[in-house]
């Protein structure tokens, strides 16, 4: 069975609610005819109501960029899966490398967040990927294996069916250095082999992320292994993200 491509925006810490509204006014007409491809925008928490309202009835779904694993409680500053779901989110990113680097995210907390999100009825984009020094030391495969075993392998097959994996080599994020399509496909094959060994026949979509732009998306998507993109910088501009969606 063909895997449906997913083009997902990760806005990171950009845009106000007013800017979110303007983005969708410009973006939705440009992608309304996008066929055979799912589109998601993962926005900062404060922008989610504006995004959900603007995208209602369209072919674009909305998600968060993180969540906490408890349903509710004394956890100042945190947001839970049921809260995102109640707002109208359909998905959430977990384990982005920026959360791993700057906010203490570990494979263990990735697994907790992923399970909590699935329990709340959200699809999860789980991020993995190696740092530059790890790639240069020839450790890419070992890093992906460790991240898979610690952050993903503990899911049940039913839970695993609710996730999408995003391979984002850290050295390619925001640097303008994209992994070549072949490098990305190689890493995707490593992940797919790990997934097949753990979960057998469950098909998983694997996105590539890291300096995806309108002018390199086609070459990346030409690889059978690449099922879509997780886009940072180039997703902030409606015309540029629309070009990626309509590659
Ligand atoms: P850039 O597209 O800005 O490199 O960011 C990629 C990313 O981190 C998406 O999650």
Question: Tens digits of per-residue pLDDT, 68-91?
Answer: 999 999 999 999 999 999 999 999
Nearest to 9 by CA among 91, 68, 105: 91
Instruction: Tell me how far the alpha carbon of residue 210 lies from the centroid of ligand 1, in angstroms.
Output: 5
Q: Is the pLDDT of residue 1 over 60?
A: no
Q: Is the Cα torsion angle 235, 237, 242, 247 positive or negative in sign? A: negative
Instruction: Tell me how far the alpha carbon of residue 172 lies from the centroid of ligand 1, in angstroms.
Output: 8
The stretch 208-218 carries a mean pLDDT of 97
Among the residue ranges 54-58, 125-129, 153-157, 197-201, the one predicted with the least confidence is 197-201
Q: Which residue has the tokens 């409680």?
A: 73
What is the pLDDT confidence band of residue 176, given thresholds at 50, 70 and 90?
confident
Buried b (16+ CB within 10 A) or exposed e, 72-99: eeeeeeebbbbbbbeeebebbbbbbbbb
Phi, psi dihedrals of residue 9, rounded to the nearest 5°: -95, 135
Give me the residues paired with residue 125 across strands. 93, 164
Say what percent of the chain tops pLDDT 70.
100
Q: What's the rounded Cα separation, in Å, for the pair 148 and 107?
A: 8
Pocket test for ligand 1, best of 12, 99, 209, 220 (most atoms within 8 A of CB): 209
What is the pLDDT confidence band of residue 178, given thresholds at 50, 70 and 90?
confident
Pocket test for ligand 1, best of 40, 184, 230, 237 (most atoms within 8 A of CB): 230
Instruction: Tell me how far the alpha carbon of residue 212 lies from the centroid of ligand 1, in angstroms.
Output: 7
Residue 75: predicted pLDDT: 98
Q: What's the rounded Cα separation, in Å, for the pair 159 and 215?
A: 35
């Amino acid at each position: 069975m063909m895997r449906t491509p997913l083009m997902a925006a990760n806005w990171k810490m950009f845009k106000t609610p007013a800017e979110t509204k303007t983005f969708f006014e410009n973006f939705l007409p440009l992608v309304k005819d996008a066929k055979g491809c799912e589109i998601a925008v993962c926005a900062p928490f404060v922008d989610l109501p504006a995004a959900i309202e603007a995208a209602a009835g369209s072919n674009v779904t909305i998600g968060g960029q993180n969540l906490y694993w408890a349903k509710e409680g004394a956890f100042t500053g945190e947001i839970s899966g049921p809260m995102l779901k109640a707002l109208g989110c359909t998905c959430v990113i977990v384990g982005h490398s920026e959360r791993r680097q700057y906010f203490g995210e570990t494979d263990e907390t990735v697994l907790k967040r992923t399970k909590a999100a699935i329990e709340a009825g959200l699809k999860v984009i789980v991020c993995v990927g190696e740092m530059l020094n790890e790639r240069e030391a020839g450790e890419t495969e070992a890093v992906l294996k460790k991240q898979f075993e610690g952050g993903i392998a503990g899911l049940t097959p039913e839970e695993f069916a609710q996730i999408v994996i995003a391979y984002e080599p850290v050295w390619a994020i925001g640097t303008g250095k994209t992994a070549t399509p072949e490098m990305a496909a190689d890493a995707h094959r490593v992940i797919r082999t790990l997934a097949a060994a753990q979960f057998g026949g469950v098909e998983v979509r694997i996105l590539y992320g890291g300096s995806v732009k309108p002018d390199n998306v086609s070459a990346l998507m030409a690889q059978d292994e690449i099922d879509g993109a997780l886009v940072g910088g180039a997703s902030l501009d409606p015309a540029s993200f629309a070009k990626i969606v309509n590659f």
